[in-house]
C-alpha cells in the first residue's frame, strides 16, 4: 500500500505561521533596506528559517515578492481571491452606477493603502532593470486591468457609460484614476486622507464614465 503524505491541521498551521514570519521579515526588509537589501539570506535570518526552505518554497526572490504583494494587498493569507471577497461582491451587486463606482473607489483606496509603500519599492526596482521584478509588476498591472475590465463591462451592459465612450477607453480611465501610484502619492506626499481620496476618485469616475442620467447631472 502506498504511503500517503503526512498532513494534519497542526502541520498546516505550523507552515502558515512560518510563512507569516517569512513575509513579515520580507516586508520589513523591503521597506527598510530596499530590494537589494531584501536578500533571501537576510529574510531567512530574520524569520528564523533556512535559506534552503525559502528557495524550496518560493523558488526565486521575485516569487517571494509576488506572494508578499498578494498577501499584503488582501490584508490576510486566506486563499479566497479578490473576486470572491465580500467587498467586491458588494460592487457587483450594486445596481446604481454612481454608487457602484463609489464602492469601487473605496475598494481601490483600501487596497492601495495596504500595498502602496510596498509596491513603490517593487516598481522602483523593476524600473531600475531587475528582470524578475519587471515581470512581477507587469503581472500585477494585468491583474488590475482585468478587474477594471469587469467593472467597465458591467457598466456597458447596463447602458450606463457616457455616449461615445468605448469599453476599452472606460477601462483605461479606471486603470489610470485608480492606480496605486495616484492614490499613494495623494496620501503620502500630498497629505490627503483616504476618505478624501475616495470621495475625489468616486466623483471623477462618475464624471468621466457615466451618462448624464447616471452621474447625478
Angstrom distance (rounded) from CA 155 to CA 167: 9
> How high is the pLDDT of residue 213?
72
pLDDT at 90: 93
Residue pair 175/149 in contact by the 8 Å Cβ criterion: no
Residues of the chain with CATH 1.10.357.10: 79-214
The pLDDT of residue 103? 97
Instruction: Name the CATH superfamily for 6-59.
Output: Homeodomain-like (1.10.10.60)
Residue ranges, comma separated, of all CATH 1.10.10.60 domains in the chain are: 6-59
Under 8 Å between Cβ of 97 and 214: yes
pLDDT (average), residues 190-196: 97
Question: Per-residue pLDDT for 217 more than 60?
Answer: no
Q: pLDDT per residue over 56-100, tens digit each?
A: 999 999 999 999 999 999 998 888 888 888 988 999 999 999 999
Decide if 26 contacts 57 (C-beta within 8 A): no
Q: Indicate the Cα dihedral angle 195, 88, 101, 187, nearest 10°.
A: 30
- Give the model's pLDDT for residue 1: 44
Tell me what pLDDT residue 34 has.
Answer: 92
* Cβ–Cβ < 8 Å for 154, 100: yes
* 158 vs 113: CA distance, rounded Å: 30
Give the pLDDT score at 4: 53
pLDDT at 6 over 60: no
| Joined grid coordinates for residue 37 | 537589501
Of the listed ranges 8-22, 23-37, 43-57, 126-140, the least confidently predicted one is 126-140
- Which fold would CATH assign to domain 79-214? Tetracycline Repressor; domain 2 (1.10.357)
User: What's the rounded Cα separation, in Å, for the pair 87 and 107?
Assistant: 7
Confidence of residue 108 (pLDDT cuts 50, 70, 90): very high
Whole-number pLDDT of residue 83: 80
Statement: residue 179 has pLDDT above 60? yes
pLDDT confidence tier of residue 197, bands split at 50, 70 and 90: very high
Amino acid at each position: 500500500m502506498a504511503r500517503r503524505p503526512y498532513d494534519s491541521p497542526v502541520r498546516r498551521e505550523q507552515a502558515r505561521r512560518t510563512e507569516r514570519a517569512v513575509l513579515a521579515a520580507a516586508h520589513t526588509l523591503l521597506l527598510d533596506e530596499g530590494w537589494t537589501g531584501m536578500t533571501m539570506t537576510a529574510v531567512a535570518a530574520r524569520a528564523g528559517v533556512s535559506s534552503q526552505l525559502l528557495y524550496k518554497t518560493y523558488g526565486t526572490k521575485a516569487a517571494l515578492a509576488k506572494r508578499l504583494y498578494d498577501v499584503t494587498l488582501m490584508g490576510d493569507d486566506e486563499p479566497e481571491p479578490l473576486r470572491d471577497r465580500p467587498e467586491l461582491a458588494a460592487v457587483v451587486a450594486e445596481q446604481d452606477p454612481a454608487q457602484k463606482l463609489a464602492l469601487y473607489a473605496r475598494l481601490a483606496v483600501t487596497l492601495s493603502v495596504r500595498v502602496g509603500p510596498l509596491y513603490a519599492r517593487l516598481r522602483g526596482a523593476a524600473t531600475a532593470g531587475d528582470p524578475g521584478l519587471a515581470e512581477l509588476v507587469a503581472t500585477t498591472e494585468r491583474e488590475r486591468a482585468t478587474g477594471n475590465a469587469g467593472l467597465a463591462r458591467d457598466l456597458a451592459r447596463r447602458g450606463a457609460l457616457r455616449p461615445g465612450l468605448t469599453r476599452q477607453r472606460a477601462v483605461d480611465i479606471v486603470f489610470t484614476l485608480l492606480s496605486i501610484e495616484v492614490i499613494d502619492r495623494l496620501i503620502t506626499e500630498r497629505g490627503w486622507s483616504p476618505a478624501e481620496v475616495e470621495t475625489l476618485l468616486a466623483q471623477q469616475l462618475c464624471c468621466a464614465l457615466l451618462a448624464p442620467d447616471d452621474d447625478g447631472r
